[in-house]
Amino acid sequence: MPDLNNVRSWPTVSDRMRYAVDQCMEGLALLDAEGRYTYMNQAHAAMYGFTSDELIEKSWKVLYEPNTIALIEAEYFPLLLAQGHWSGELTGRKKTGSLFSAEVSLNLVKREEGQLEGLICTCRDITNRKRLERRVKQRGSALSEAVQALKNENRARRLLEQEREKLLEQVTEGRARLQALSRSLLETQETERHKLSRDLHDEVGQLLTALKVNLQSILEEQPAAFVSVPIDESVSIVDRMIESVRSLSLDLRPSLLDDLGLIPALRWYLRRQAERLNWKRTFTAENCCTRYRDDLQIACFRIAQEALTNVARHANATKVTLRISEKGAVLELVVRDNGGGFSLAHAKTRAKKGQSLGLLGMEERARLVHGSITITSQRGRGTTVRAVFPLSPRVKTEERTRH
C-alpha cells in the first residue's frame, strides 16, 4: 500500500485511482460483455457478504434470486441496451442467503467501434433507508388515521352539539309557551276573582242588606207574639251572612289593594288573620313606595296571602312577622312564623305529585315577575318565606314612605 503522506511514493495515476476506488464507501464493479465480474472494490463485495476474490470472474447472477434475474433480463437490460444507462432498486442476495435492498446504477462501456466491452456497476445498500422510509410511511398512515379519527370525532361532536342546541331550543320554546300559559291562567284567575268579589259585594251583599232591613221593619211593626218565625234570630243569621259574604269578597280580591296599594293591603291582611287566629303580629315596611306595578303588587300580595294561609293551616304559631322593604333595585317580602316548621324536601315531593299547590304557586307567581322565593323551615323552629322581586321598570312611584 502506498504511503498516503508521500504522493511521490504512489507509482502511477491509475494506481492512485484504483486505491481511491478501493477505499470508496459506494460499491463499484466492472463486468465484461458476458456479465462476469472483472473488478470490484471492497465495498461492493462486502455489501453481498463476499470478498472480491470470491466474485471475480463469476457471473452477476450469483448475487440475485432467480425472479430478480428474470426481471432484470426481461425489463431492465433492454432499457440499458437502448439508453446505455439504467438505474433503479434491486433486491440483492447475500452470501448467507439473506436479502437486502440495493440502489444500482449500470452504464454500458463500448469500444470505439461501438462493440460492447462491458458494464460499470455502482451499488449502494439502502436497506436502512428503506426501513426508515417504511417506518415513516407507517407513522404517516398511523398519523393520517389519527387525523381522520379526530376529524370524525369532531364531526360527531359538532352533530351532538347541534342536536343539543336543537333540544335546548325546543326546551326553551316549550318553557316560554308554558310560562305564557301560566301567566295567562293567573291573569284570568285574577280577573275572575275581581269580578266575583265585586259581584258578591255589590249584589249579594246589597240583597242581604235589603233582606235585613225588611226583617227589621217586620220586627218593628208586628209584635213578636204575632209572628210564628223568630224574626230576631233571622236578622242575626242575615248579619252573619253579610259578614261572611264580605269576608269572602275580601279574600277573593281585597279592594284595598286596588284602592290604596300594596303596603296598606298587606298590613290589613296580616291584621285580619292575626285577629282571627290570635297571633301576636309585627308588620314592618321599610323604604317602600305605596304603589308598585300592578303585576308586582298582585304577585307580592298573593304570595303573602298563601304564606299567611299556610301559617294559619299548618304552623300552629303564636307570633307572625311580615316585613316588606325596598333594598336597592329589589323589593323584598319576608313572612316569618314561630310555628312547628316542616320538611321542605317532603313538601316538595308531595307538590311534585300534585298533592299540594301552594308552594309551587308562590314560586310561579314570583317567577312570572322575574322574582324568586326562598323558604327555610326547621321542625319546631318556625318557617321563613322570603320573596325577592326586581323593581325596574317601575311604572308608578309615589312618594317614598316609612311605615
Ligand X SMILES: Nc1ncnc2c1ncn2[C@@H]1O[C@H](COP(=O)(O)OP(=O)(O)OP(=O)(O)O)[C@@H](O)[C@H]1O
Q: Is 353 in the site for ligand X (CB under 6 A)?
A: no
Residue with Cβ nearer ligand X (216 or 356):
356
3-state secondary structure of 386: strand
Instruction: By CB under 6 A, tell whether 357 contacts ligand X.
Output: yes
Among 102, 383, 387, 389, binds ligand X (CB under 6 A): 383
Grid cell for residue 6: 508521500
Nearest to 251 by CA among 237, 267, 272: 272
Q: Rg of the Cα trace of the chain?
A: 54
Q: What distance in Å separates the CA atoms of residue 149 and residue 135, rounded to the nearest whole number? A: 20
- Of 41-49, 261-269, 276-284, 353-361: span binding ligand X (CB under 6 A): 353-361
Smaller CB separation from ligand X, 41 or 377: 377
Name the residue nearer to Mg ion (CB basis): 310 or 321: 310
Q: 398 in helix, strand or coil?
A: coil
| Selected binder of ligand X within 339, 369, 371, 373 (CB under 6 A) | 339
Nearest residue (CB) to Mg ion, 214 versus 343: 343
Which of 122, 273, 310, 321 touches Mg ion (CB under 5 A)? 310
* Nearer Cβ to Mg ion (102/362): 362
**Continuous segment of H or E residues that includes residue 306:** helix 294-310
Cell 466474485 belongs to: 55
Number of continuous H segments (helices) and E segments (strands) in the chain: 13, 10
**Could you tell me if 103 and 11 are in contact, meaning their C-beta atoms sit under 8 angstroms apart?**
no
Choice between 29 and 359, CB closer to ligand X = 359
> Which residue in 114, 71, 113, 109 sits closest to 92, CA to CA?
71
338 near Mg ion, rule: CB under 5 A: no
Report in angstroms the alpha-carbon separations of 274 from 266, 269, 271, 280.
Answer: 12, 8, 5, 7
Reference 31, options 83, 77, 65; nearest CA is 77
User: Least Å distance between CB 193 and ligand X?
Assistant: 16
Q: Which is nearer to ligand X, 94 or 367 (CB)?
A: 367
Question: Min. distance of Cβ 310 from Mg ion in angstroms?
Answer: 4
Which residues in 55-84 contact ligand X (CB under 6 A)?
none
Q: Which of 303, 270, 298, 262 is nearest to 398 (CA)?
A: 262
What residue number has its CB nearest to Mg ion? 358
Q: Nearest 5°: CA angle at 105, between 127 and 85?
A: 155
Q: Residue 342 touches which of Mg ion, ligand X, none (CB < 5 to 8 A by kind)?
A: ligand X
358 contacts Mg ion (rule: CB under 5 A) = yes
Tell which residue, 322, 262, 286, 282, has the closest CA to residue 402: 286
Stretch that binds Mg ion, among 116-124, 282-290, 352-360, 379-387 (CB under 5 A): 352-360
Question: How far apart are the C-alpha atoms of 180 and 189, rounded to whole Å?
Answer: 14
Q: Which does 315 bind (CB under 5 to 8 A by kind): ligand X, Mg ion, none?
A: ligand X
Per-residue x/- mask for ligand X, residues 105 to 134, rule CB under 6 A?
------------------------------
| Residues of the shown chain interacting with Mg ion in the complex, contacts defined by CB under 5 A | 310, 358
| Residues of the shown chain interacting with ligand X in the complex, contacts defined by CB under 6 A | 310-311, 313-315, 337, 339-342, 347, 351, 356-359, 383
